[in-house]
Amino acid sequence: MAKQTINLGTAPTGVGGDTPRSAFTKTQGNFDELYAALGASGNPLTLPAALPVAQGGTGGTTQVAARAGLGLTLTASTADPTIGRVLKVGDFGWGGPSLAESTWNNANTTGFSNQPQAIGGPITGSSGWYANGINILYGSDVRIKTQIAIQVNGPGFATRNLQMDLSSATPWVYFWNTGNTTVDGSGFIKKASPIVRISDPSNTTRDDLLDGFTVAGYGAVNDEAKGVVVERLELGRYLISGCLGLAVDGWQVNSPSDRNGGKLLGLAAGENQPDGSIIVEFRRVKYRLTDDGDLEQIPGPLIEAPLDNWIDVRLEMPPAAPYVPPPPSEDGGTVETEPLI
């Protein structure tokens, strides 16, 4: 019912207002309505310890009792898929440590995980990744999933689609990014590993010579080539030391061209030395007419590496030390498993 308002009459004496009895009758009625709304029961009426759910409360005086009263059951494990249950911090890798998986192939829940060189995972060379992973089921069908891997011990990023019986698994697709590619002086993207750029860092006219690279003598190196040094021996001849020679697979030495990727600025060539170092020579482009009437490029006299571009050299490096995951935290990496709500 509506609130019963006491008529106070006319000030200062209250002439024309409710009598004391009628005033207290209204007061009593208002209190009875409040007690009923708050779930009071018994004779005399007694308020419950917790407001019932039917009256807009939780029905409990503790967190456990309140969740039970509201029908909020916590998940039974970090990978409990039961519909309607309340997530705890860390469930499915959310808000806490990611789930540890020993194999990508049998990851059967949607969530975040960590995969230390797990079976079926992406690889670089012959080494499996230490990776954080995202596993996404196709609806509730655990046979079909999309997986994303983000490498912890490198710049790798990869994805694949998979069926549980592996009959239609797509190979891992590896994304190119600034960690595993390089952009040559003409703006073309190339697959990268350890890279040296030969050009005088102190006199270069290019603001992007050191993008992702650091100065290393008469040139610059990327992270994978740290420890390598470039030395200018004489006009057009350069010594690269601290490596194991030119890259075994893929491209090795890139001759720079103008900013439009057209005219060659010179011809660069590298030669491995017995100690693993490399001698790079940069020569002027000359042309000659072959016996068949074709015009071919031939190396001319030595010239200096350009200041408005650079010579890219791809290297072979000593094997990196095996990746060792950091030790667990002092508390074992545990977190309180309180509900997210």
Question: Quick one: 226 and 143 in the same domain?
Answer: no
Is residue 195 domain-resident? yes
Question: Quick one: 211 and 272 in the same domain?
Answer: yes
Give me the pLDDT at residue 286, please: 92
Give me the pLDDT at residue 335, please: 44
Question: Quick one: 202 and 297 in the same domain?
Answer: yes
Is residue 159 domain-resident? yes
Q: How far is CA 130 from CA 117, 177, 179, 271, 301, in A?
A: 5, 18, 16, 35, 49
Give me the pLDDT at residue 308, please: 92
Sequence-distant (≥ 6) Cβ neighbours of residue 339 within 8 angstroms: 67, 72, 74, 86, 87, 88, 89
Tally of structural domains, the chain: 2
Q: What string of pLDDT tens digits covers the 341 residues of the chain?
A: 688 888 888 888 888 888 889 889 989 888 888 888 888 888 888 888 888 888 888 888 888 888 888 888 888 888 888 888 888 887 887 777 777 777 787 777 888 888 777 677 887 666 778 888 888 888 777 778 898 999 887 888 899 888 766 566 678 888 888 777 777 777 777 777 789 999 999 999 998 899 889 999 999 998 889 999 999 999 999 999 999 999 998 889 999 988 776 788 999 999 999 999 999 999 999 989 888 888 888 999 999 999 999 999 999 998 776 666 666 555 554 444 444 44
Residue 292 tokens, joined:
């068949």
Q: Identify whether the C-beta of residue 63 lies closer than 8 Å to the C-beta of residue 337.
A: no
Question: Quick one: 222 and 100 in the same domain?
Answer: no
Question: Quick one: 210 and 162 in the same domain?
Answer: no
Give me the pLDDT at residue 224, please: 85
Question: Quick one: 198 and 250 in the same domain?
Answer: yes
Is residue 321 domain-resident? no
Give burial (CB, 10 Å; 0-12/13-18/19+) of 275. exposed
Gap between the Cα atoms of 201 and 196, Å rounded: 12
Gap between the Cα atoms of 51 and 57, Å rounded: 5
Write down which residue in 174, 192, 221 finishes a domain. Answer: 174
Give me the pLDDT at residue 330, please: 58
Amino acid letter, residue 127: S
Give me the pLDDT at residue 218, please: 97
Range of the domain at 270: 181-314
State pTM to two decimals.
0.56
> What residues pair up with 55 in beta bridges, in sequence order?
none
Question: Quick one: 158 and 95 in the same domain?
Answer: yes
Question: Quick one: 130 and 231 in the same domain?
Answer: no
Question: Quick one: 134 and 189 in the same domain?
Answer: no
Gap between the Cα atoms of 61 and 47, Å rounded: 13
3-state secondary structure of 103: strand
Amino acid letter, residue 227: G
Write down which residue in 152, 174, 196 finishes a domain. Answer: 174
